[in-house]
């Protein structure tokens, strides 16, 4: 890969009072350009990741980035969308723009979800499933993953201990992430036990198994490797792979996450590395069952044996392969369009040694998995600091 990340910005995630979609976008866009040391006049192309699906009355949002600075007027700007992997789809589009000759590409991911009433949030998110089969699923998208968790339990036994351990791990990690929506160490016992504050939501999934509804934005600046090496920092893409699978879960074995498996296999081959070479991974824990299955799909464990990784501390921040040192979607929040960009920003911060309290010591190579739907849109990046 020739593209490199040379600047970035990240808003706090959560219920952001007083913010609009436009303000979220323009703030991180301005900060990312400043961090990269470039001006609006240097930007050759703009890509905005924005899912929407009913969260914003303002659609056709690509040009909102131009509100950052009048000097962005007349720059090509495109909005991309691929469900919960929208942010990574925007990053990939930005890489293609660099490969096509754009010197600097500004990639922004943003979503404002919390101003939407609860029932509408569920209906909007369910649009990322195959409606002819799943459109009437109780509890919306949580219900879809509740069915996945139930099927996994039927095949491999009750995994409630592992799901609670994943939730507890990610919430503990999120305490030190200043961008995270929930900075509270909930502890294993709270995550494991059903309670008034932690009720069952769908199937075997409790509230602590589900990612948060969030507002937020992130942005990054891409350029070619030659230009990047002359700048203050350069985080190179060793690999960036995209695999799209069937939308209906009935057409595949949903417990295999085969699109995730394919994306990881292609990325590791492209990068010329193995999982043992990675310093950490940021993976898509929209629900704890997703992180559990992703362990197996990426090749860390055999099918049905992912639980031992978290229960034995393998994926802890101080484990052999830290997974979600940022706190993941579980603690950090999941503003749909921003999530994939956020994962790339936080991974870049780790590799640059600028991650503060969530820093993984001596981080050299970072892996990212971001997915849309139930393992339908699958994106894997492997990042390496070259300056």
The one catalytic residue among 50, 171, 284, 334: 334
Is 84 an annotated catalytic residue?
yes
Task: For residues 260 and 229, give the distance between their C-alpha atoms in angstroms, rounded to a whole number.
Answer: 32
Count of all residues that appear for the chain in the document: 387
Angle at 158 between CA 153 and CA 163, to 5 degrees: 95
What is the Cα–Cα distance from 161 to 289, expressed in whole angstroms? Answer: 11
What is the spatial distance between Cα 385 and Cα 238, in angstroms, rounded to a whole number? 10
334 is known as an active-site residue: yes
The structure tokens listed for 341 are: 């960009």
Q: Rounded to whole angstroms, how far apart are CA atoms 71 and 226?
A: 25
- Whether 370 contacts 126, CB under 8 Å: no
Q: In whole angstroms, what is the distance from residue 82 CA to residue 90 CA?
A: 9
In this structure, what is the dihedral angle of CA atoms 190, 191, 195, 198, given to the nearest 10 degrees? 120
Strands 77-80 and 45-49: parallel
- Residue 196 to residue 187: CA distance in whole angstroms: 16
Give the integer Cα–Cα distance in Å for 270 and 155: 33
Q: How many angstroms separate the CA atoms of 319 and 338, rounded?
A: 28
Of the residues 4, 84, 191, 210, only one is catalytic, namely 84
Active site residues: 84, 334
């Amino acid at each position: 890969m020739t593209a490199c990340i040379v600047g970035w910005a990240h808003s706090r995630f959560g219920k952001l009072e007083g913010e609009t979609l436009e303000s979220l976008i323009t703030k991180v866009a301005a900060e990312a350009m400043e961090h990269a040391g470039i001006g609006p006049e240097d930007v050759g192309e703009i890509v905005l990741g924005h899912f929407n699906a009913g969260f914003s009355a303002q659609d056709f949002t690509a040009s909102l980035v131009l509100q950052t600075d009048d000097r962005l007027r007349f720059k090509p700007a495109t909005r991309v969308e691929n469900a919960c992997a929208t942010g990574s789809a925007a990053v990939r589009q930005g890489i293609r723009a660099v490969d096509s000759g754009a010197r600097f590409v500004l990639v922004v991911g943003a979503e404002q979800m919390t101003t939407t009433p609860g029932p509408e949030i569920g209906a909007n998110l369910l649009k990322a499933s195959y409606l002819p089969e799943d459109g009437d699923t109780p509890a919306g998208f949580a219900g879809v993953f509740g069915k996945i968790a139930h099927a996994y339990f039927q095949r491999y036994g009750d995994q409630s201990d592992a799901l609670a351990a994943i939730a507890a791990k990610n919430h503990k990690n999120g305490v030190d992430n200043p961008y995270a929506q929930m900075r509270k160490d909930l502890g294993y016992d709270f995550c494991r036990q059903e309670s008034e504050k932690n009720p069952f939501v769908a199937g075997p999934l409790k509230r602590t198994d589900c990612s948060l509804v969030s507002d937020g934005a992130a942005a990054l600046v891409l350029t070619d490797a030659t230009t990047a090496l002359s700048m203050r920092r350069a985080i190179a893409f060793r690999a960036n792979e995209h695999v799209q699978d069937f939308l209906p879960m009935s057409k595949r074995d949903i417990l295999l996450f085969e699109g995730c498996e394919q994306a990881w296999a292609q990325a590791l081959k492209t990068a010329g590395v193995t999982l043992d070479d990675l310093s950490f991974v940021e993976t898509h824990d929209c629900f704890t069952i997703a992180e559990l299955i992703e362990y197996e799909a990426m090749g860390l464990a055999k099918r049905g044996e992912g639980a031992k990784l978290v229960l034995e501390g393998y994926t802890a921040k101080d484990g052999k392969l830290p997974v979600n040192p940022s706190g993941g979607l579980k603690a950090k929040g999941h503003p749909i369009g921003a999530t994939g960009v956020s994962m790339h920003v936080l991974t870049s911060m780790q590799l640059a040694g600028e991650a503060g309290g969530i820093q993984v010591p001596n981080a050299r190579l970072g892996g990212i998995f971001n997915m849309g739907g139930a393992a339908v849109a699958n994106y894997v990046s492997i990042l390496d600091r070259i300056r």
